[in-house]
Chains A and B, each alone.
Chain A
Amino acid sequence: MTDRIEQRINSLNKRLNSEKRFRIYCIGAMSFALAWVLILFLNIFSSGYSAFYRTVIQVDVPFLNLIEDTTQFSEMSSEDINNLSMYSFSKKAIYRLFPDIEEKKDKKMLIRLFSIEFEQEIREFLKSNKSNINETETIYLTASDDVDQVNKGNYPRDLDEDKRRIKDIQLLFFDDLVDRGLVSYEFNLPFLMRGDSREPELAGVGGSIVGSLFTILVVLILSFPIGIFAAIYLEEFAPKNKVTDFIEININNLAAVPSIVFGLLGLGIILNTFGLPRSTPLVGGIVLSLMTLPTIIIATRASLRAVPPSIREGALAVGATKMQAVMHHVVPVAMPGALTGTIIGLAQALGETAPLLLIGMVAFVVDVPQTPLDASASLPVQVYLWSESAERGYVEKTSATIMMLLGFLILMNLAAVLIRRKFETKW
C-alpha cells in the first residue's frame, strides 16, 4: 500500500519537474527573441538619434555691403532676389569670422566648414525676411557634414591628418568658433522636409516619406476594394467546384511568391508594355498591390468564414436576397478582420524594397514628389541607398530612416489592434 503511494508521488514529482523544465524552455525562447529585438532597437536608436539635430554656425551677415539701403529689399520680388549675385558677398560674410587670415588656401578651408549651399541659405533668409532686414543680420548656417560629425563626437579627431577628411586648420577654426559660442545645435527640420542630396548634411527623408505615403495610398485604393470584393465573391457566392479550388490554391501560392518576382512583372508589363512612368509611386503601388492582395483576400475570407452561418440564414429567412444578407449582415461583422488584414498587408508593402528596386524607385531623387506620378524614392529604398554611402552623415541618417520606418510600422500595427478591439462584435 505505502509502496503504491510512494510510486504515485514519484511519478507526480517527475511530471511536475518536466513541467518546470518546459516552462523554462519557453521563457528562454521568449527572452532570446526579446533580447534580439531589444539589441536591434538599441543599436538603431543609438546610431540614429543624432540625425534628428544638426550643427549650425552663427554668422553675422552685413547686408549693407550688398545694397545701400536695406529697406530696398522689401520692394524686391523673389525673382529679383534670385537674380542678385551673392556668392562673393556670402563668402566675405564668412571670412569676417576670421579677419586675420590672408592665404587663399586657408580661406577655402574656412568656407568648407559650411555646407555647400551657404549662399542659397543666405538668399532664402533674405527672401523670407525681406521687409525687415537690418544692416547686419545674424544667420545660422548649416555646418558641413564633417563639422557636424566632429561636433556630435562621431568623428575620430586623433587620427593623422592625412587619414581624415577634416584638416587640422579646420579643427582650429572649429574649436575657436566653439569657444566663441557661435556653434550650436538645432532640431533637424530639413532632414524631415527635404529630398535626397549628394551632401549628407543636406539629405532628408521628406521625399521618401511622401513617396512611401503615395505608394501606400495607391496600394490602399487598389487592393482594398479588389481584395474585399474578391474575398466576398469567393467566400459567399462562388460555387464550390474545381475551378474555385484552383483559384483558392493559386491565391495562397501568390502569397508565397518572392516579392522580387512582382518587381520583374512590374518592369516587364507595367513599365515596358503599358508604358507607365518609371520610378513613380503609381507603378510602385500597383506592383505592391499585387503583393498585398493575397494577404487581404486571405484575411477577409477568414473573417467572413468566422461569421456564423445562422446570421446569413436569419437574413435570408425574412426574405433578404443573398446579396442583402451578405452586405447588410455578414460583411459588417467581418469588416474589422478585413481591415486588420488590410493594414497588415499595407505594413508589409511599406517595408518592401526588392520590387521597388526593379521598377526604378531606387533612383536618386532630390525633389519631394508632388503627385504619385512624380519620380520618387521610398523609405526602405532610401535606407538601401544611404547604407551604401561612405560619409559619416549617411550612417546616422540610415539609422534614423529605419527608426522612422519602424515608427510607421508600429503605428499601423497599433491601428490594426485598436480597430479590432473597438469594432469586434460581441456575441
Chain B
Amino acid sequence: MKSIKIKADNLNVHYGEKQALFDVSMYMEEKQVTALIGPSGCGKSTFIRCLNRMNDVIDICKVQGKIEIDGNDIYAPDMQVEQLRERVGMVFQKPNPFPKSIFENVAYGPRIHGIAEHKSDLEEIVVTSLKKAALFDEVKDRLSDSGTSLSGGQQQRLCIARAISVNPDIILMDEPCSALDPIATARIEELMGDLKTEYTIIIVTHSMQQAARVSSRTGFFHLGKLVEVDKTETIFSNPSDQRTQDYITGRFG
C-alpha cells in the first residue's frame, strides 16, 4: 500500500444554483496514476480543478468540504493559492502554450517563483523539464521559436514541461489527449509512465482504454457522484456497481 497524497472528504461543488459534485470522498496514492472516468458532464473535470483551486477563477463556483494534500487543507484560509499551484501543476484539455518562445514557455514558472538565481540555472531547468517531457530532442535547435508553431502533440508535451518546470509534487491532467492523434496520444501515455516515478498524476480521460493502460486506480463519476473507486483491474474486470458495469461495457456514455 502506497502512502496517501491527496484526500478529498465530502466534497460538494455548486455552480450558482446547480450542484456539480455530490459528497465526493476519495484518496489518491503518491507516485501513482489515478484515472477519473465517466460520461461528459459527470463532474470529473470539476473535481480535478478543485485539487489546484482552479475553480477559484469562476465567480459562481462554491466549494464545500475538505481536500487535504499531505495532510494540509488546501481550502484553509491561510493557504496561498499561488503556492498551492506551484506544488500542483496542471495540463489542460487543449494545448495552451503561451504565444512566446519555447524557452520562455518553460522558463516562465521558475522565473516568477524565483527558483532560478542565475541565467544558467534557468537554462538548466528548461533543458531538464523539456527532457522529462520527452520534447528536448525535437526542439533543442529551435528553443527561440514560438511555442505555438509546434504540432499539437508537441504543444501538449511543452505544456507538460511547463507544468514540471516548477517542480510540483502532483500533476493534474484534464483530458490531455483528447485533441491529439493516436501517435501523439501514445507518446504522452508513455511519458506518463516515466513521470509517475517522480510525480503523483491524476488524469481525467474519456477513453477507458487509456485509463486501463496508464492508471493504477480508477474512479468512475456519474451525474456528479463518485460511483466507485478502486484498483483499475477491479474496476474494469469486476466492478461492484451496475452503472460502472454498464459504462465500461459501452451501454451508455
CA distance A317 to B166 in the complex (A): 11
Which residues from chain A contact B225 at a C-beta distance below 8 Å? Answer: none
> Could you list which residues of chain B lie within 8 angstroms of chain A, going by C-beta atoms?
52, 54, 57, 59, 82-86, 89-90, 92, 94, 96-99, 108-109, 112-113, 146, 148, 159, 162-163, 165-166
CA distance A333 to B96 in the complex (A): 14
Chain B residues whose CB sits within 8 angstroms of the CB of A321 once the complex forms = 82
Given contacts A240-B59, A324-B112, contact A318 B96 (CB under 8 A): no
Query: Residues of A within 8 Å of B, CB-based: how many?
Result: 23
Chain B residues positioned under 8 Å from A317 (CB to CB): 52, 54, 85, 89-90, 92, 163
Contacts of A273 in B (CB 8 A): none
A328: chain B residues within 8 A (beta carbon): 108, 112
CB distance from B70 to the nearest CB of A (A): 17
Contact check, A427 vs B54: say whether CB atoms are below 8 A apart.
Answer: no
Which residue of A is nearest B57, CB measured? Answer: A316
For A314, A329, A427, the residue with the greatest tally of chain B CB atoms inside 10 Å of its CB is A314
B99 touches A318 (CB 8 A): no
- Checking B57, B94, B108, B146 against A318 with a beta-carbon cut-off of 8 angstroms, the contacting residue is B108
Q: Which of A233-285 contact B (CB under 8 A)?
A: 239-240
Q: What 1/0 flags go to A294-319 for Cβ under 8 Å of B?
A: 00000000000000101111111111
Chain B residue nearest in CB terms to A312 = B57
Closest Cβ of chain B to A385, distance in Å, is 49
Number of cross-chain contacts by CB at 8 Å? 69
B82–A427 CB distance below 8 A: no
Given contacts A319-B109, A320-B82, A427-B99, contact A314 B159 (CB under 8 A): yes
CA A319 to CA B52, docked complex, whole Å? 10
A315–B89 alpha-carbon span in the complex (Å): 11
- Chain A residues near B163: list those with CB within 8 A: 317-318
**CB of B200 to closest CB in A, whole Å:** 16
- Residues of A at the B interface (CB closer than 8 Å) are 239-240, 308, 310-322, 324, 328-329, 333, 425-427
Q: List 22 A-B contacts (CB under 8 A).
A: A239-B59, A240-B59, A308-B96, A310-B94, A310-B96, A313-B54, A314-B162, A316-B54, A316-B85, A317-B54, A317-B85, A318-B85, A318-B165, A319-B83, A319-B84, A320-B109, A321-B82, A322-B57, A324-B112, A328-B112, A426-B146, A427-B99
B165 contacts across to A, CB distance below 8 A: 318
- Is B54 touching A319 in the complex (CB atoms < 8 A)? no
Chain A residue at minimum C-beta to C-beta distance from B87: A319
Chain A residues near B148: list those with CB within 8 A.
Answer: 426-427
Q: Which residues of B contact A322 (CB under 8 A)?
A: 57
Q: Which residues of A contact B52 (CB under 8 A)?
A: 317
Given contacts A313-B96, A318-B162, A319-B166, 19 further A-B contacts (CB under 8 A): A239-B59, A308-B96, A311-B96, A311-B99, A314-B98, A316-B57, A317-B90, A317-B163, A318-B89, A318-B112, A319-B83, A319-B109, A320-B108, A322-B57, A328-B112, A333-B99, A425-B99, A426-B148, A427-B148
